[in-house]
Amino acid sequence: MSDVTASRTVFPAALSIWVPRLEAVIIPIGALVVGLGLFAVFLLFLGRSPVDFFALVYKAGFGTGFSWKNTLSRVAPLLFAGLCVALPARLGLVVIGGEGAIALGGLAAAVMGVWSGALPGAIGLILMAAAAMVIGGAWIGAIGFLRIKRGVNETIASLLMAYIAIALMNHLVEGAFRDPASLNKPSTAPLPDSLRVGDMPIGIEVHWGLGIGVLCCFLCWILLDRTTIGFAARVAGGNIRAAQVQSLPVGKLVIGFTALGGSMAGLAGYFEVTATHGAANASLVVGYGYTGILVAFLARHNPIAIIPVAVLLAGFEASSGLIQRRMDLPDATILVMQGIVFVVLLLSETLYGRLRIFRPDLWGGKA
């Protein structure tokens, strides 16, 4: 308690800024710890040792250079998928259909790659990224449009549209855009090497998606936190009626932010195609869009906090194979863990402003 008393005398005004920020960090971390604790109980019921489990997760996700490579290669799609949730969330919208925009964005990139095969690699890559962003942005932006023009619930609409998107992607990959040479796994035509994104020169084999993803997180943070557009979005998300009475362009903001979120998810698909798979196929739909929801909520929709959270969850996902083999647990175990953490996290949302320890007046006296 001594440093508490010390700060009481020093920074009463600054405390009213820092204490809520501390609250926003400690509550999600607390929820994560409690969620993992409950999952440990679940493991005990299965007769497995939680200690072994977490040791394995650490080893397979973060323990060695190889496991870091495995983890980091999964971070990029989680960053983009997290942004697809976090950006609309600033406007108070819960968009959970990033998976669909990833699938269609990846497909758009692959198709654009086939068409622009004769162009120089750099131009082709840019066109592919643009195609992925436009399709992803249009898909999620349409959800914003439906919300603002027709009052359609964006959560349900985005979820259902994700099913449509995935089905549409499968339909086209198995039909119009199928490479006849892809026999047992229908795919689009393989991209030439000139249209493949390579690794970053950082001494560990990780493709450029990670770097661009981190950059996008910073850019989105600047947009939300430093520009007047971000401020307007926070007002609209904080109270839509107040924003309307202030004549803020709520409709444009909603459509703009959902479209931007969708284009981020589109980029996730783009990097999966150009860096990981070399073609669009069913491998695009492995649940990054859904894990991205958990990433964004754990990061409290703060784009910079998305980065460490994405690394953590990517590590969990990277370890699922080893856990399956060593502990004889099904692949879905990691999903159970994610589900438990998510429910605890949603519960923890009710704690904001209720914990006495986070009341600035207790820390700084009556400033």
Q: Which residues bind other proteins (CB under 8 A)?
A: 12-13, 16-17, 20, 226-232, 234-235, 237-239, 241-249, 360-361, 366-367
Which amino acid, 139? Answer: W
Shortest Å distance, C-beta 242 to other proteins = 5
Nearer to other proteins, 194 or 227 (CB): 227
User: Residue 79's CB: how many other CB atoms inside 10 A?
Assistant: 32
CA dihedral 361, 363, 365, 366 (to 10 degrees): -20
Radius of gyration of the chain (CA): 22
- Report d(CA 316, CA 321) in Å as an integer: 10
Residue 302: alpha-carbon gap to chain centroid? 11
Tell me the two tokens of residue 306.
């998305």
In the complex, least distance from residue 228 CB atom to other proteins, rounded to whole angstroms:
4
The smaller minimum CB distance to other proteins, of residues 171 and 226, is found at 226
Q: Which is nearer to other proteins, 103 or 220 (CB)?
A: 220
CB of 16 to other proteins, least distance (A): 4
Residue closer to other proteins by CB (options 61, 88) is 88
207 close to 199: Cβ distance less than 8 angstroms: yes
Nearer to other proteins, 242 or 343 (CB): 242
Angle between the N-to-C axes of helices 320-327 and 50-58, in degrees from 0 to 180, rounded to the nearest 10: 140
Beta bridge partners of 281: 187
What's the min distance (Å) between Cβ of 8 and other proteins? 14
Q: How far is the CB of 253 from other proteins (least distance, A)?
A: 12
